Amino acid sequence: MEAIFSSIGLRRFLHRPAGRAPKWSKETVNQDVLNASYAVRGPVLDLAMKMEERLRSGESLPFKEMIYCNIGNPQSLQQKPLTFVRQVLSLVTNPLLLEKHSDLFPSDAVARAQKYLGAHPMGAYSNSQGIKTVREEVAAFIGKRDQTFSPDPDAIFLINGASEGVRYGLQSLLRPRLAGYHDGVLVPIPQYPLYSALTTLLNGELVPYYLREEEGWTLEVGDLEEALKQARARGVTVRGLVVINPGNPTGQLLSRANMEKIIEFCVRENLVLMADEVYQTNIYVDDRGFLSFRKVAVDMGLPPDAGPEEQGMNEKHLQLVSFHSVSKGFMGECGLRGGYMELFGIPPGVKAQLYKLASISLCSNTIGQVVTGLMVHPPEEGSPSFPTYEGERTATLTSLRRRAQKLTAGLGNLEGVSVQPSTGAMYSFPRLSLPPAFHAEAVKQGTKADELYCIRLVEATGIVVVPGSGFGQVDGSWHFRTTFLPPEDKMDSVMERLGKFHKELLDAYRG
């Protein structure tokens, strides 16, 4: 095999004579694209969108509106954008307002817009890593958040949402099968389907490690070690570990002791730790605050510098890439596509390749970059915009906490449903116990029980949730993921519709 895939052999293989290309069709599409799936926008959502069209055409259905709980998309469910954010965006996207009507805006919003426009014209491409001024704001935010030294702004990449950064990381980490590699990455189950989709697209192997549902979706290092051992026995070179904290879809929050063990595991096994921390503001317990993997690594004395590659990198250091996004938290600016990734312990040679990947797209969108700056550098206490901003932030997070508690309680009251409390993020992942006759019906229809449940739910109620099988689950268990983002005054109605549907479904199949 090694001889076949030698540089000469590979070159000959790739340059063998080829005939006339077939038409572009489903049968000739890249097989990795065909194999990839993304559950939060899968068959259940396709059905929901068709039903919404029927509602708009005036057709009578058992409900009057669709409730989209399939994705963390707050503004689609009536969450209002933050006033300060939109004021600054208004000014940077229409500088005429600064010239003619700046008196209509708070002075700190005007000053911020002038700062960004002074650093970069909004309609122009920026540096591929992003506007330097915004990266400096991100670096200062990280230092303040972690109560440590701030990272070098050149360790920050501004990206079109965390998803783009994850793609850059996996794209540079997973080497091609055609060249003889069999690389994989450890991913939690349940997981956010971005990771499975990208791993499939890149022809890598997703190596699952299972979170412990009965213990509040905890992560045990012993389970990581066993998953790694089994993967290596199959010939997989595991190169990275994905951790989502707070969890998606499970809503759990890791402890410091757990995080330290995870870091020690990554250092010991030479794994790149990919820390998805986009829900760091969404925490709903009083005795726990957000703790970043970077903070824990620094407290453990691990250096942010990998050391010179040409002299051999220090084996006893952590390689960490952290992600954050403007889509979540209390901002909900999903469609503006902003975020950042920070490199910690990543050598210059790798950073150069990540820069090249970013350069292929020239840069992330500059409006998303500005929103990222506004996320990490909000109005300061004593400024004109602070009271409004703080009021909006507090109201949104307090409401999310109440909705999380209401959803957990409501789901827990349903027959055959068990649910772990959502201590973070904006999701719940309840477990379903369904009658044997319903499972038989799913088999008859050639689908999975949780997918059929979600299809029946949207048909009967207009509530859109995602089958647990799209996130991964222990064999023989069935779940669905739902957000708790519907407006607070609609949560009772949502729970009533869901409860009525669930009871009627069980009654119809229990016999």
Q: What's the CA dihedral at 304, 221, 186, 350 to 10 degrees?
A: 10
- 133 and 197 in a single domain? The answer is yes
Q: Is 128 found in the same domain as 197?
A: yes
Q: What is the pLDDT of residue 17?
A: 67
- 464 lies in a domain? yes
Instruction: State how far the Cα of 90 lies from the Cα of 427, in Å rounded to an integer.
Output: 32
Query: Can you give the pTM of this predicted structure?
Result: 0.90
pLDDT of 393 over the 60 cut: yes
**Residue recorded with tokens 């790798």:** 350
Cα–Cα distance measured from residue 370 to residue 83, given in angstroms and rounded to the nearest whole number = 15
pLDDT above 80 (res 339): yes
pLDDT at 238 over 50: yes
Q: How much of the chain, in percent, has pLDDT values that exceed 90?
A: 70
pLDDT band at 42 (very low <50, low <70, confident <90, very high): confident
What mean pLDDT do residues 33-60 have?
83
pLDDT at 35: 76
pLDDT for the residue 31: 81
Give 129's DSSP letter: T
Residue 463 domain flag: yes
Residue 3 has pLDDT above 60, yes or no: no
Q: What is the CATH number of the domain that holds 46?
A: 3.90.1150.10
By DSSP bridging, strand 272-276 and strand 319-325 are parallel
- Rounded to an integer, the average pLDDT of 179-191 is 92
Radius of gyration of the chain (CA): 24
In a domain? residue 70: yes
pLDDT for residue 7: 47
Average pLDDT over residues 106-112: 95
Region of poorest pLDDT, from 4-18, 122-136, 226-240, 321-335: 4-18
- Confidence tier at 1 by pLDDT (50, 70, 90): very low
Evaluate whether residue 114 is within a structural domain: no
Higher pLDDT, residue 46 or 241: 241
Q: Which pLDDT score, from 0 to 100, does residue 294 have?
A: 97
Model confidence at 111: pLDDT above 90: yes
pLDDT of residue 314: 58
| Assigned domain for 500 exists | yes
**Residue 272 and residue 154 share a domain:** yes
Q: Say if residues 133 and 369 touch (Cβ distance below 8 Å).
A: no
Q: Flag the least confident range among 17-31, 41-55, 236-250.
A: 17-31
CA distance linking residue 420 with residue 215, whole number of Å: 9
Annotate 355-384 with three-state secondary structure. Answer: HHHHHHCCCCCHHHHHHHHHHHCCCCCCCC
Contact 249, 471 (CB under 8 A): yes
- Could you list the residue range(s) of the whole structural domain that residue 443 is in? 39-78+390-509
Which of 1-5, 30-34, 129-133, 433-437 is least confident? 1-5
Cα–Cα distance measured from residue 334 to residue 328, given in angstroms and rounded to the nearest whole number? 7
Residue with token string 């045990």: 220
Q: Are residues 132 and 279 in the same domain?
A: yes
Q: Which of 119, 125, 117, 126 is nearest to 95 (CA)?
A: 117
**Side chain identity at 493, as an amino acid letter?**
S
- Is 336 found in the same domain as 210? yes
State both tokens at 9: 């052999």
Question: Is the pLDDT at 12 greater than 60, yes or no?
Answer: no
CATH number, domain of 223, equals 3.40.640.10
Of 376, 405, 440, which marks where a domain is finished? 376
282 shares its domain with 399: no
Q: Specify whether the CB–CB gap between 272 and 169 falls below 8 A.
A: yes
Query: Considering 346, 376, 406, which residue would you say is the last residue of a domain?
Result: 376
Would you state the pLDDT for residue 41? 65
Task: Of 30-44, 223-237, 257-271, 396-410, give the lowest mean pLDDT range.
Answer: 30-44
Residues 252, 372, single domain; the answer is yes
Average pLDDT over residues 395-420: 92
How confident is the model over 233-260, as a mean pLDDT? 94
Confidence of residue 193 (pLDDT cuts 50, 70, 90): confident
What total number of domains does the chain contain? Answer: 2
- Same domain? For 362 and 402 the reply is no
Q: How far is CA 365 from CA 118, 124, 128, 129, 174, in A?
A: 17, 9, 10, 11, 26
Question: Among 319, 352, 376, where does a domain finish?
Answer: 376
- pLDDT greater than 90 at residue 76: no
Q: What is the mean pLDDT of residues 75-100?
A: 91
Neighbours of 296 (CB within 10 A): 22
Does 311 score more than 70 pLDDT?
no
- Name which residue leads in pLDDT, 60 or 138: 138
Task: Identify whether residues 498 and 366 lie together within a single domain.
Answer: no
Residue 171: half-sphere exposure toward Cβ, Cα within 13 Å: 14
Q: What is the pLDDT of residue 308?
A: 65
pLDDT value at 243 more than 70: yes
In a domain, 1, yes or no: no
Distance, CA of 492 to chain centre: 28
Residue 330 within any structural domain of the chain: yes
Tell me the average pLDDT of the chain: 90
* Segment 490-497 long-range contacts (CB within 8 Å, at least 24 positions apart): 490/67, 491/403, 491/406, 491/407, 492/406, 494/67, 494/69, 494/463, 495/406, 495/407, 495/410, 497/63, 497/461, 497/462, 497/463
Instruction: Check whether residue 365 and residue 406 sit in a common domain.
Output: no
**Residues 347, 410 within the same domain:** no
190 preceded by a cis bond (ω within 30 of 0)? yes
**Domain for residue 283, yes or no?**
yes
User: How much is the average pLDDT of 23-30?
Assistant: 79
| Same-domain pairing of 268 and 372 | yes
Q: Which two tokens stand for residue 327?
A: 């889509």
Evaluate if residue 8 carries a pLDDT over 50: no
